[in-house]
């Protein structure tokens, strides 16, 4: 997975360095507090990945920030994040908030998964010159790539509608061969409070240090949620959504540009 991730990141980095090489030269260091900030604005691309255990999350993020202070110390703005997720041997748990605090939590296990999302979010940053500290969170988007997978359902009470060879429908438990069910990525991504959120969303904190006026190294930590939706809804719980959450160390390169 790490080698595959490297093959994804390195070509993008080369393209961005080539394409953005001329514009970023105009972003000279005016003062310590104004590193990579011009006219109270800061922007750029982050190219990196979160890696941990059996999951990889490569992503490309565009951001624009505006200073709230004359010293360019505090900046806030927005992000657009294109993010992919690859995982193996993962368990997904009952997602809706109304069901996450009951005694019997259902699970769906997958041998491997892949999905890709595009999300808009917000970011805040504390600019200390060559060093910047910040945080960002995805708010709204959609998952537009991701194949259906067969998952193994574990449910002690669940029932679903099954149609036999004669075309007759009946309620059946998730038992025997019926534990293997088809599921697809949840398409709509919405950040809400706690377990009310939906879809594939990332929250991160980071530290960025500039290696020069054209490139910076970004180190961070990500909290990533992904969701799968069963084709056959559980009639007892009235639920088809299942969630997995992972925490990942994150490494990226930042290529600053002047925002449009």
CA angle 78, 139, 126 (to 5 degrees): 40
Q: Are strands 239-257 and 216-234 parallel, antiparallel or unpaired?
A: antiparallel
Neighbours of 19 (CB within 10 A): 12
Neighbours of 123 (CB within 10 A): 20
pLDDT on residue 107:
96
Q: What residue numbers bound the domain in which 72 lies?
A: 2-257
pTM: 0.82
Q: Which sign, positive or negative, has the C-alpha torsion 250, 223, 116, 87?
A: positive
User: HSE on the CB side for 158, CA within 13 Å?
Assistant: 27
E strand residue ranges, 128-238: 131-145, 149-154, 159-163, 169-173, 180-185, 188-190, 201-210, 216-234
pLDDT on residue 164:
76
pLDDT on residue 260:
58
- CA–CA gap between residue 176 and residue 125 (Å, rounded): 52
Q: Tell me whether residue 169 is exposed, middle or buried, using C-beta atoms within 10 angstroms of its C-beta: 0 to 12, 13 to 18, 19 or more.
A: exposed
- On whether the CB atoms of residues 208 and 256 are closer than 8 A, the answer is no
101 to each of 95, 98, 195, 199, how far by Cα in Å?
10, 7, 10, 19
Helices (H), the chain: 2-24
User: HSE on the CB side for 190, CA within 13 Å?
Assistant: 8
pLDDT on residue 123:
98
- CA–CA gap between residue 149 and residue 245 (Å, rounded): 18
Tens-digit pLDDT string for the chain (260 aa): 544 444 444 444 443 444 344 333 333 333 344 456 776 788 999 999 999 989 999 999 999 999 998 888 999 999 999 999 999 999 999 999 999 887 778 999 999 999 999 999 999 999 998 999 999 999 999 999 888 999 999 998 999 998 877 778 889 999 999 999 999 999 999 999 989 999 999 999 999 999 988 899 999 999 999 999 999 999 999 999 999 999 999 999 999 987 65
191 to each of 26, 84, 139, 156, how far by Cα in Å?
37, 18, 5, 30
Domain count, the chain: 1
For 44, the 3-state DSSP assignment is: strand
pLDDT on residue 258:
73
pLDDT on residue 101:
84
């Amino acid at each position: 997975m790490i080698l595959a991730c490297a093959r994804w990141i390195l070509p993008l980095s080369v393209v961005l360095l080539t394409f953005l090489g001329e514009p970023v030269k105009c972003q000279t260091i005016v003062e310590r507090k104004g590193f990579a900030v011009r006219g109270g604005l800061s922007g750029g691309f982050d190219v990196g990945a979160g890696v941990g255990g059996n999951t990889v999350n490569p992503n490309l993020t565009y951001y624009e920030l505006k200073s709230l202070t004359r010293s360019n110390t505090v900046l806030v703005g927005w992000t657009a994040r294109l993010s992919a997720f690859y995982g193996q041997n993962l368990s997904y748990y009952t997602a809706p908030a109304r069901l996450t605090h009951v005694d019997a939590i259902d699970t769906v296990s997958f041998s491997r998964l892949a999905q890709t999302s595009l999300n808009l979010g917000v970011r805040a940053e504390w600019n200390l010159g060559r060093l910047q500290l910040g945080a960002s969170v995805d708010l709204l988007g959609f998952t537009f790539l991701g194949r259906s997978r067969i998952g193994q359902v574990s449910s002690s009470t669940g029932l679903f509608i099954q149609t036999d060879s004669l075309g007759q429908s009946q309620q059946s438990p998730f038992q025997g061969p019926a534990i293997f069910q088809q599921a697809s990525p949840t398409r709509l991504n919405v950040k809400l409070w706690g377990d009310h959120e939906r879809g594939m969303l990332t929250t991160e904190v980071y530290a960025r240090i500039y290696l020069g006026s054209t490139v910076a190294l970004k180190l961070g930590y990500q909290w990533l949620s992904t969701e799968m939706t069963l084709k056959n809804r559980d009639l007892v719980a009235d639920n088809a959504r299942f969630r997995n959450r992972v925490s990942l160390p994150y490494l990226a390169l930042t290529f600053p540009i002047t925002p449009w």
